Homo-oligomer: A and B are copies of this chain.
Amino acid sequence: MYKSEKLANSLKLLIQSGTWKPHEKLPSLRSQCKNSGFSLITVMNAYHELEAQGLIYSKEKSGYFVADRKTFSTTHSFDTNQKIEINSIVFHYLKSIQGDHIIPLGSAFPNSQLLYSPKLIQILAQLAKRHFSYEQTPSLPPGNIELRKLIAQRYCMQGIQADHDDIVITSGGLDALNLALQAVTQIGDYIILQQTVFYGAWQAAERLGLKVITIPDHPEDGIDLQALEHAIEKYPIKACWFMLNCHNPIGYTVKDKIKEKLAKILYQHNIYLIEDDVYGELYFENKKPLSMKYFDENNLVLHCSSFSKILGADFRIGWVYAGPYSEKIQHIQLMSTLSVNSFIQNALVEYLSHRDYDKHLKKIRASLEKNKIDFYHFLQRILDQNCKVHYFPSGYFLWIELPKELDSIDIYQSLLSKNISIAPSHLFNAHDTKAKNYLRINCSFDLTASYQEALLELSKCINHAIQLYRASK
């Protein structure tokens, strides 16, 4: 055992035994060196290890303190093993669900036949010839001005004042989120994620060297504001990354009242919000859910979205409404992907100006709702009574809760051998070893015979796992 490990373990004992209380200050690095006779590097490594385990936290210029582990789930820095773990799961998962022979219940992409718009295809075909003959200059950040104006108009339709200069076009939604997070954080900063979250958020935090606090999902409100406030009291939080509309994977949409409160909390503590709103257009009820931008009077919200779930993921066009961070984000873009395909941007300008776009949105909402309800009823009928299917009127995911004893990764693996994919909860709860018994189903497809068969296979698999568990007891 290394000296630093030894030291970490002995400090850990003091914390766990309650000798050191939550929020008590630990000895400074120097005095720890003096007392222990260990080198500075050894002491620093031990403290870093404890910080990575969420047992202590640091405040700039004040030193290290004992963490309070009761009020919210966990703090995470990323050690090497964790990194490999998250990325390997996601990587192998994404690899496994490629291929035409797979029934893509695990896919994050909506049924492409629904997204098909003949008008857009017509524009693309006409434009391809014109564009590549004459306009070979790449579109540098912030991207096509007409497209940004059209996006700004859509914000205004919801009563959100938006200036096209505050909007930056990106290579899809994930790029927008990454850029936004990078713009407001520095290595070592603390951020808050929802406990159940799109895995891209964990990966972005890892890539940028951020420390992650997670707050539990609230059964009614979606987001647990009390846990949020506790976390803010205990840690110097720089930013939150939340999905509040048509949440992936669970499906809920946070109510306006809660959003308003959230905005107040952010303002009180001067905390940024990276809002992931890529599913925002896929509501089934009358009114488009509001973005946090609506409640944001202090430019703390960076609102990210894309056309991937509406027109197709292959367009790779997203945007961030970045407010005063627009220029900083453009700086980062110039250092990485440089520019976004201007052909596709031109095509979207033409298409978004056309009345077909709103018709298209209406159509896909109606189709998604029908398919989702069909899937829901079918699953209700065939699944074991100990399973619960969470239904929300938006998006195209169903979140299935299995009996607690089951591990969805087993279901995932045995279905994959039958050429059916699902998304196990491990993808969305990267660091929570308890929440293994959930899985996400993509229900954007017509419930044809082959999808019915796939769902029956899923049901069989679950029953088999339940029997195995009972037999093992």
A residues contacting B by CB (< 8 A) are 29-30, 33, 39-40, 87, 90-91, 94-95, 98, 109, 112, 115-116, 120-121, 124-125, 127-129, 132-140, 171-172, 174-175, 178, 187, 200, 203-204, 206-207, 209, 312-316, 327, 330-332, 334-344
Contact = CB atoms under 8 A, between A and B. Distances in A.
B124 A109 contact: no
A221 to B, nearest CB: 30
Nearest to A107: B137
A139 B344 CA distance: 16
B30 A138 contact: no
A174 B316 contact: no
A172 B339 CA distance: 9
A336 B174 contact: yes
Contacts of A124: 128-129, 132
Contacts of A330: 91
Given A121-B133, A139-B314, 5 more contacts: A30-B39, A120-B132, A125-B129, A136-B314, A178-B335
Contacts of A40: 29-30, 40
A335 B116 contact: no
Contacts of A331: 87, 91
Contacts of A140: 94-95, 98
Contacts of A91: 327, 330-331, 334
Nearest to A44: B40
A425 to B, nearest CB: 19
What does DSSP make chain A's interface, helix, strand, loop or mixed? Answer: helix
Contacts of A312: 132, 136
Given A94-B140, A331-B91, A314 B135 contact: yes
Contacts of A341: 314-316, 341, 344
A336 B125 contact: no
15 contacts: A40-B40, A87-B335, A94-B334, A95-B140, A109-B136, A112-B137, A121-B129, A137-B313, A172-B337, A172-B339, A175-B337, A207-B335, A314-B342, A315-B341, A316-B339
Q: How many copies does the complex hold?
A: 2
Nearest to A174: B338
A55 B48 CA distance: 29
Contact of A116 (B98, B133, B343): B133
A248 to B, nearest CB: 14
Contact of A335 (B115, B133, B203): B203
Contacts of A342: 314
B109 A138 contact: yes
Contacts of A39: 30
A77 to B, nearest CB: 14
A396 to B, nearest CB: 14
Contact of A125 (B128, B134, B178, B204): B128
Q: Which of A39, A136, A172, A340 is most buried by chain B, counting CB atoms within 10 A of its CB?
A: A136
Nearest to A90: B334
Contacts of A339: 172, 313-314, 316
A165 to B, nearest CB: 13
Contacts of A98: 140
A38 B344 CA distance: 58
A76 B128 CA distance: 45
A142 B187 CA distance: 28
A339 B171 CA distance: 9
A205 to B, nearest CB: 10
Contacts of A335: 87, 178, 200, 203-204, 206-207
A63 to B, nearest CB: 10
Contact of A136 (B115, B174, B204): B115
B338 A172 contact: yes
Nearest to A172: B338
A29 B341 CA distance: 50
Given A94-B334, A133-B121, A335-B203, A314 B128 contact: no
Which A-B residue pairs are the 7 nearest by beta carbons? A112-B136, A203-B335, A136-B312, A124-B128, A128-B128, A125-B129, A125-B128
A138 B314 contact: yes
A137 B312 CA distance: 8
A334 B121 contact: no
